[in-house]
Amino acid sequence: MTNMQYLPIKEFVELGFLQEVNRQFFHPLGLALEVAINMETGERTLSGIQDYREDPEGMVFSDLSDGEATLRATAVATLQRTKAAHRSASLGWVMQPIGNKR
């Protein structure tokens, strides 16, 4: 058995995963995954899920017009395409179907 590997939350944010999981999944549902930063240590933690499900429009970022947001979205999309190709070839699916025991 191999040791479990963890992605540091700081890297999760910097690589665009937080932005994209919120933009693509949580925000349209009226939810937002939140990261807190300890001002003394700089440590980042997943601090909770903001819940605005009663808002019919869901949530939106105040601004995604900067080039950094575009770069993060592009990097995540590239990784998604790469993973999708490998998963499809080796597993026969990209998103694991419900009921799959693998």
Predicted local distance difference test score (pLDDT) of residue 58: 86
Q: Which amino acid is at 42?
A: G
Predicted local distance difference test score (pLDDT) of residue 4: 92
The phi-psi region of residue 85 (left if phi > 0; otherwise alpha if psi is between -120 and 50; otherwise beta) is: alpha
Task: Output the pTM of the full model.
Answer: 0.86
Which ranges of the chain does DSSP label H, i.e. alpha helix? 9-14, 17-21, 67-91
Predicted local distance difference test score (pLDDT) of residue 19: 96
Q: What are the sequence ranges of the domains in the chain?
A: 9-91
CB 58 within 8 A of CB 30: yes
Quick: pLDDT tens for 20-66.
999 999 999 999 999 999 999 999 999 999 999 999 988 888 888 88
Quick: pLDDT tens for 63-85.
888 899 999 999 999 999 999 99
Q: What is each CA distance from 30 to 26, 55, 63, 92, in whole angstroms?
A: 6, 6, 17, 32
